[in-house]
Amino acid sequence: MNTFSNSQRTITIGYGPGYARSEVWSHLKSKLVIPTEIVSITAAQRYNPALILLDMHLIREMDLAQWVEDFPEAILLCSESLDLDVDLILSNNLPFRQTCKLLEMACYQWVLKSEKMERAKMRDTSFRYLNKLADISISLSAEDDLMTLLRKILNEGQNIACCDAASLFLINEINDHERDLVFKLTQNDSMEFPFEEMRFPLDDSSIAGYVAHTDTELNITDAYQLSKDVPYKFNQSFDQNTGYRTKSILAIPLTNKQKEVIGVLQFINRKKARSLKVSDEKSAAAYTLPFDSDINVLLQALASQAGIAIENTILQNDIKALFEGFVNASVAAIEQRDPTTSGHSFRVADLCIDLANSVSMSNLTRLRNVRFTDAEVRELKYAALLHDFGKVGVRESVLVKEKKLTAGSLDNIHYRILLAQERLTSQALAKQLAMYRNGTAIESELEIINAQLTADITMLNEFYNTIVTANEPSILKEDNKEMLDKINGYNFDSLEGDFQIITEEEFGLLSIKKGSLSPSERKEIESHVVHTQNFLNHIPWTKEFKNIPIIAGAHHEKLDGSGYPYGMSAEQIPLPSKIMTVCDIYDALTASDRPYKPAMGTEKALDILQIESKQGYLDNDLVQIFIEAKVYHCIDSKEYSTAAPQSGASNHPCAHDLHDHD
């Protein structure tokens, strides 16, 4: 029987009662062959023999075709299946050597058949597990939320190992020389319990600590039967508090791409079936199994994938936090240049996010199929945060210009008026002195000179008061405009020639009808959009954020083409930019004093948005959703200021975009 004995398989030969008297059974010396008499179908099912010798008794119970169907893995011998007399084979008339050789050939045929089936089964199992691991790898690599990723890892591990519980520990870097172990997450099929993240020393005293510290896998058959020689101990506190019984444990180190240990994956109580509940000592003894080598290989593969996925997710989150911090710091730095609008970009970002989400839930006909993805909302958020970054390219004197005249101009005008008054006084005194010298001084003529001087000084004082009033960024009144024309035309002869109170440039600034900016200064303010887009174009955005420069660069465009800097039409303006325009204008109206009017209340601002949309400047549907969804409330309870409070008004670009509704 050497041929099949090498397989080390135990082979049961079942034979019908007609072959029971054969002496061949006593001559089968192999310990791997177990002859067993079967007298019925039930007996055959119980023993499940590899080789069945069918006699007439068994054939009468069930025909050959049915035997083949019911025992597909067995080798069947009977007179109907072979060109020989089976009775002769097992009779004493055939030499035992030949009989045993025939049985050996039949058993060998079964060995080949079973090995082929096992190989096929192993291939199927391996293929299934490879597919499963590939699916797991794809699933883990696609997850960017750390806690969701950790839950996936534990769920997949429990599915592979068919275990009752699983836990995950991560190494935490306290500083360059100190680390600890964070008990990050645990799951248990048999019971629910409150979980709190805990920290442990990174040393050999605990099972997880030992695995992490030594980069060694531990496979423990019974946690309560640890050798006294091992440095680690099993913490029984959970079992004592809950009545649970921890038995088998498999703890595997999690490593990153550099093969550095970053944590520990721990599986507890492998079970005969996932549905079984392990609640006490008795159920643990009945239902749990050790972790065998086949399962260990799969869990090691999972741990390898999990370690890299965790590191990648942490790295991605760190990069996101770094980018978020950079954006926030950049916005805060820019807003320091214009403290009166501090917090504006952060408020606009929140308004944009809420409006985009409201659009996704809207049933308005035109926007019914518009659904912003999470990535698109993040893209809009960053575009909104950075939409005014180009103000860094605007002169601060223009950006925070409160009055029409440039700094120092009013003082210069005041000096000229005082100088004019002094020179008028000197001229009047010179005339009077000449009259005294010539002997022509008459009281009435002297009084006329004094009266004219008083009138001229009073007029110059009125000039100054008018200039002070006109210098304010409020809407220029008609009577002040007339007085400015008079001031601009005023001059008198002096020793240096004609003397003017205001220059042509100062006259132009004082004549600004609304606000404090001249046309050239307004152009400079408007140029912030181009600066913004140019700056953002220099950033190597990832694919999901590639539209940020375009979105931010179009937030001052209007649907009728009257916007800037490109005069886009409604079809050319991206929808996210239209959203930002609505939110930007609302915040400009309600949060900041305009140079010529104070900040207004919510209702008035909403009325202006509606008027602007009806006149074709803003998207009517977006304004409707903004109002109906009460998007404006999302910023009510938040604190946004990033700079110290400042008095005065700033030249917010959106304030100058608006038409005369108020």
The last residue of a domain, from among 76, 101, 117: 117
DSSP state of 26: G
Q: Say if residue 565 is preceded by a cis peptide, omega within 30 of 0.
A: yes
**Confidence at residue 596, expressed as pLDDT on a 0 to 100 scale:** 57
50 or 290: which leads in pLDDT: 290
Same-domain pairing of 527 and 511: no
Domain shared by 160 and 224, yes or no: yes
Q: pLDDT tens, 374-395?
A: 999 999 999 999 999 888 888 8
Q: pLDDT class for 624, splitting at 50, 70, 90?
A: very high
Residue 127 lies in a domain: no
**Comparison of pLDDT for 397 and 340, the residue scoring more:** 397
The answer to whether residue 42 sits within a structural domain is yes
pLDDT of residue 143: 73
In the predicted model, is pLDDT for residue 96 greater than 50? no
Do residues 543 and 647 share a domain? yes
The answer on pLDDT for 92 being more than 50 is no
Q: Which is higher by pLDDT, 467 or 85? A: 467
Please write the tens of the pLDDT for every residue from 161-170: 899 999 999 9
| Per-residue confidence (pLDDT) for residue 4, from 0 to 100 | 45
Burial of 474 (0-12, 13-18, 19+ CB in 10 A): middle
Distance CA 407, CA 413 (A): 12
CA-nearest of 259, 265, 267, 315 to 291 is 267
Q: In this structure, is residue 561 part of a structural domain?
A: yes
The pLDDT of residue 492: 67
- Which pLDDT score is estimated for 124? 59
Are 443 and 540 within one domain? no
Which region holds residue 437: left if phi is over 0, alpha if psi is between -120 and 50, else beta? alpha
Residue 206 lies in a domain: yes
Pairwise CA distance, residues 578 & 56, whole Å: 91
Hey, what amino acid is at 143? E
**Average pLDDT of the segment spanning 481-496:** 78
Most confident of 247-251, 292-296, 311-315, 422-426: 247-251
| Cα 183 to Cα 167: distance, rounded to the nearest angstrom | 8
In a domain, 404, yes or no: no
Determine the pLDDT at residue 400. Answer: 80
Of 298, 255, 316, 5, which is closest to residue 163 (Cα–Cα)? 298
Question: CB neighbours (10 Å) of residue 496?
Answer: 7
Question: Hey, what long-range contacts does 524-527 have (CB within 8 A, 24 or more apart)?
Answer: 524/394, 524/395, 524/398, 525/394, 525/398, 525/399, 525/651, 525/653, 525/656, 526/556, 526/564, 526/565, 526/653, 526/656, 527/390, 527/393, 527/394, 527/565
Q: What is the pLDDT of residue 176?
A: 76
Residue type, 504: E
Average pLDDT over residues 547-563: 95
What's the CATH number where 42 sits? 3.40.50
State how far the Cα of 182 lies from the Cα of 600, in Å rounded to an integer.
52
Res 122 pLDDT > 60: no
Distance, CA of 640 to CA of 344 (rounded, Å): 8
**Hey, what amino acid is at 492?**
F
473 and 421 both lie in a single domain:
yes
| CATH number, residue 551 | 1.10.3210.10
Of residues 606, 618, 579, the one with CA closest to residue 662: 606
One domain, residues 176 and 270: yes
Same domain, 160 and 300: yes
**pLDDT (tens digit, 9 = 90+) per residue, 172-226?**
988 878 889 999 999 999 998 888 899 988 999 999 999 999 999 999 999 999 9
- Ramachandran class of 259: left when φ > 0, alpha when ψ lies in -120 to 50, beta otherwise: left
d(CA 216, CA 207): 10
Task: Name the H helices within 439-518.
Answer: 443-470, 478-489, 504-510
Q: What is the mean pLDDT of the chain?
A: 84
The pLDDT assigned to 82 comes to 39
For residue 88, is pLDDT > 50?
Answer: no
- Spatial separation of the C-alpha atoms in residues 616 and 624, rounded to whole Å: 14
**DSSP single-letter state for residue 243:** -
- State the pLDDT at residue 247: 95
Query: What would the two tokens of residue 119 be?
Result: 């190989």
Amino acid 86: pLDDT? 46
CA dihedral 574, 576, 577, 580 (to 10 degrees): 170
What is the chain's alpha carbon radius of gyration, rounded to the nearest angstrom?
46
Structural domain boundaries enclosing 427: 409-515
Measured distance CA(546)–CA(6) in Å, rounded: 67
Q: Does residue 242 belong to any structural domain of this protein? A: yes
Final residue of a domain: which of 484, 515, 546? 515
User: Which pLDDT belongs to residue 89?
Assistant: 46
What is the Cα–Cα distance from 529 to 501, expressed in whole angstroms? Answer: 38
What band does 553 get if pLDDT is binned at 50, 70 and 90? very high
Length reported for the chain: 662
Nearest to 609 by CA among 637, 596, 593, 628: 628
**pLDDT value at 9 more than 60:** no
As a whole number of angstroms, the distance between CA 528 and CA 93 comes to 111
Once rounded to an integer, what is the mean pLDDT over residues 415-424? 90
pTM: 0.67
pLDDT, tens digit, for every residue of 314-370? 888 888 889 899 898 988 888 887 777 778 999 999 999 999 999 999 988 888 889
According to DSSP, the β-strands at 51-53 and 288-289 are unpaired
Residue 208 sits in the same domain as residue 229? yes
- The verdict on residue 330 lying in a domain is no
Res. 510: pLDDT tops 70: yes
Same-domain check for residues 236 and 295: yes
SS (H, E, C) 419-458: HHHHHHHHHHHHHHHHHHHHCCCCHHHHHHHHHHHHHHHH
Q: How far apart are CA 592 and CA 340, in angstroms?
A: 7
Tokens (6 digits) for 593 = 């004093």
Tokens of 37: 């008499």
pLDDT for 643-656, tens place per residue?
Answer: 544 555 556 666 65
**454 shares its domain with 380:** no
Q: Tell me the CATH number at 221.
A: 3.30.450.40
Point out the domain boundary residue: 286, 316, 346: 316
Residues 509 and 531 in one domain: no
What's residue 109's pLDDT?
67
Is residue 317 within 8 Å of residue 309, measured between CB atoms?
no
Task: Tell me if 650 is assigned to some domain.
Answer: yes
User: pLDDT exceeding 90 applies to what percent of the chain?
Assistant: 40
Task: Say what the pLDDT of residue 177 is.
Answer: 80
* Count of domains forming the chain: 4
Asked whether 17 and 39 are in contact (CB, 8 A), the reply is yes
Based on the fold, state whether residues 247 and 279 are members of the same structural domain: yes
Residue 79 has pLDDT above 80, yes or no: no
Q: What residue type is 349 in one-letter code?
A: A
Q: In this predicted structure, what is the pLDDT of residue 607?
A: 95
pLDDT above 50 for 633 = yes
